[in-house]
Structure 1
Amino acid sequence: MAAPANSEQTYTEAWLPGRDGIKFYTRTYKASPARAVVIHCHGFAEYIARYEWAHGVYASRGITVFAFDQRGFGLTALDLKNKSKDSKYGKTSWHDQFADIEWWLKYMKDQYPTLPVFLMGHSMGGALCLGFVTRPSPPPAEESVKLVSGVVATSPLILLTNPPLRIARFLGMLASHILPTLVIPAPVNPDNLSHDKEMNAANARDPLCPQKGSVKGVHDMLTGGEQMLWNDYKNWNSDVPVLIVHGTADQVTSSSASKEFCDKISAKDKEYLPIEDGYHELVNESNGMKEKFVDDCISWILKHV
């Protein structure tokens, strides 16, 4: 688990139905007064409680955070008492995940009609937030993209730092059509997550972070980022500002791919922020790095309110 939240910060837990009735575990960190809203999308094989300390800081700085365990992950998939009967670990796809983001975007705009709403995501979630703006066909609908006041993508999974062999990718493509919900191992070396060894060890033994995913989910995650970099970047709405933050020493997702994507898109307001010697999970880094990372993201969001 992530470092504990500031004792003065609180969050509200709720199990909320999504667009197709699937129940999602959600947390809302309310700022008072709030100047902006952030919808946070976590990464692959993790869950939103790992960001508790950071989301508490956001709320203390005037940013309300709404976060949800994504379809196929976290408590949404693993809580035996509350999860939907059709919810299964790894059972997801980019089509479903984009539709889920669109649903929660509209939900939060209804809750906070006068506040700007930002999408923020890490790793897989970061790529989804970027992809939400670049997908050539629904979901999301064009009018939904216009609801986004900005995107913050941290360590986005556009390309892996060490991509798999082509034959493995080809077999994965075939399997995604034949056995889409088959769960397969998808390990990440915990030592590559951050410089905080205790945090890495906690992740490795966390029952809510099984290092596996469905064939369809993994295939979409890997090919979707490539498609964004090679083609879909052309569809970026130039009026949507974006901040991409990436550690220069990330051994999980490619920082150079993030830089290339940022350079390619047509956003009038865009920034690529490299974090020197940062590993993959910047929110869990040591030696003051995570505090500066969170402060940089908050400052960018408030600058765009």
Structure 2
Amino acid sequence: MASSFSEAWREGFDGHAFYTRTYEAATMKAVLVFVHGFGDHIGRYEDIHPRFAQRGITVFAYDMRGFGRTALDPEHRSPDEYYGKTSRPLELSDLEWWVRHAKRTYPDTPIFIMGYSAGAGLTLAFPTRQHPPPTPETVSMLSGVISQGPLVHLTYQPARVSRYLLHGIAKIIPSLPFPAPMPAERFSRDPKVVEALKNDTLRMDRGTARGLDNMLTQGYQLLDEGYKYWPKELPLLMTWGSADEARGVAFFNKLDIKDKKLIVYDVGISMYARVPVLQLNDIQDILHDLLHEAGDIPDRVLEEYFVWIEAHLGSR
């Protein structure tokens, strides 16, 4: 599918330079602020975001601080940039800035946020903060949250000693490079996607001590306390692959709101009544990157997103 977008380098709340893209719908129903995952970048979604625009949903996306072109573009990046250099407080401030940017640009249009993987964990944390960022005013601008494969905790947790080591280093040398292996085979069963991930020059298997520590610690905070502060009137859609190693279902189950929906994509009968039953000959389990999985899963997931957004245009 041909992609049509406008790209721009924009300053964030602290003057930091961000690479951004806008896929604008001709007839606009909603605006979606998209947050990619750890080690990810928005260029990987050139085949996905135009489909939102075709359904009347404008997408605003940005390469997060420390990743993608925001980190690696030699001409435009900020002087203090370093791959993986970030923190959860900065990421929350960044997301608030871009939500407000969307509100200023499209003042009469419902705004949704969508995150994938670590970005999905960020979108879950965003409405649950007891203190800014973000402000309650910014959270009230949202009509809904889509959380795809949220990184709240991992199926295979790092060894306790590794966590303590990372936490200690993060306090002393926050920008120290730290390995973060991301085997491409764990993201998708589509061989073309796996090959593209392996050859992606904007994707690196590392972060920094503080960025990684904040990302993992946030999950414990969400499960311990954060879920209690989710706004009662803010709808949530969570999607997840049955073989996904990033887990967020425990957070969903704790969340005490009426308008929440969980879809676990699996082959065969699922334990969740609302889950589609997929008939895929060559796929046994569904992996992390639903929008780039094999078979017809991306089409099914996108249709679910479109329908859900359209059903929540007047939710706030």
TM-score bracket, normalised by the shorter chain, equals over 0.9
1:303 to 296, 300, 311: 311
Give the equivalent residue in structure 1 for 2:16.
22
- Within a 5 Å distance, the mapping from 1:34-49 to structure 2 comes to 34-49=28-43
| Structure 1 CA distance for aligned equivalents of residues 223 and 113 of structure 2 | 19
| Structure 1 CA distance for aligned equivalents of residues 123 and 12 of structure 2 | 18
Give the equivalent residue in structure 2 for 1:60.
54
What letter is aligned with 1:40?
F
Give the equivalent residue in structure 2 for 1:189.
183
Give the equivalent residue in structure 2 for 1:262.
252
RMSD between superposed Cα atoms in Å: 0.9
Give the equivalent residue in structure 2 for 1:80.
74
- Within a 5 Å distance, the mapping from 1:214-225 to structure 2 comes to 214-225=208-219
| Structure 2 CA distance for aligned equivalents of residues 108 and 282 of structure 1 | 26
1:220 Cα deviation (Å)?
0.5
What letter is aligned with 1:280?
H
1:192 Cα deviation (Å)?
0.7
TM-score (norm 2): 0.92
| Structure 2 CA distance for aligned equivalents of residues 273 and 229 of structure 1 | 20
- Within a 5 Å distance, the mapping from 1:221-300 to structure 2 comes to 221-250=215-244, 252-254=245-247, 258-276=248-266, 277-300=285-308
What is the identity percentage for the equivalent residue pairs of Structure 1 and Structure 2? 41
Q: 1:260-302: per-residue Cα shift (whole Å, max 9, x none)?
A: 2112112221001111132000010111111111111111111
- What SS is found at the alignment partner of 1:13? strand
| Structure 1 CA distance for aligned equivalents of residues 137 and 258 of structure 2 | 19
- Within a 5 Å distance, the mapping from 1:83-102 to structure 2 comes to 83-102=77-96
- What SS is found at the alignment partner of 1:53? coil
What letter is aligned with 1:294?
L
Runs of at least 5 residues in structure 1 that lack an aligned partner in the other structure = 1-5
Give the equivalent residue in structure 1 for 2:44.
50
| Structure 1 CA distance for aligned equivalents of residues 262 and 195 of structure 2 | 30
TM-score (norm 1): 0.95
Retained in 2: the 8 A contact 1:134–1:236?
yes
1:41 Cα deviation (Å)?
0.2
Retained in 2: the 8 A contact 1:237–1:266?
no
Runs of at least 5 residues in structure 2 that lack an aligned partner in the other structure = 267-284
| Structure 1 CA distance for aligned equivalents of residues 224 and 192 of structure 2 | 37
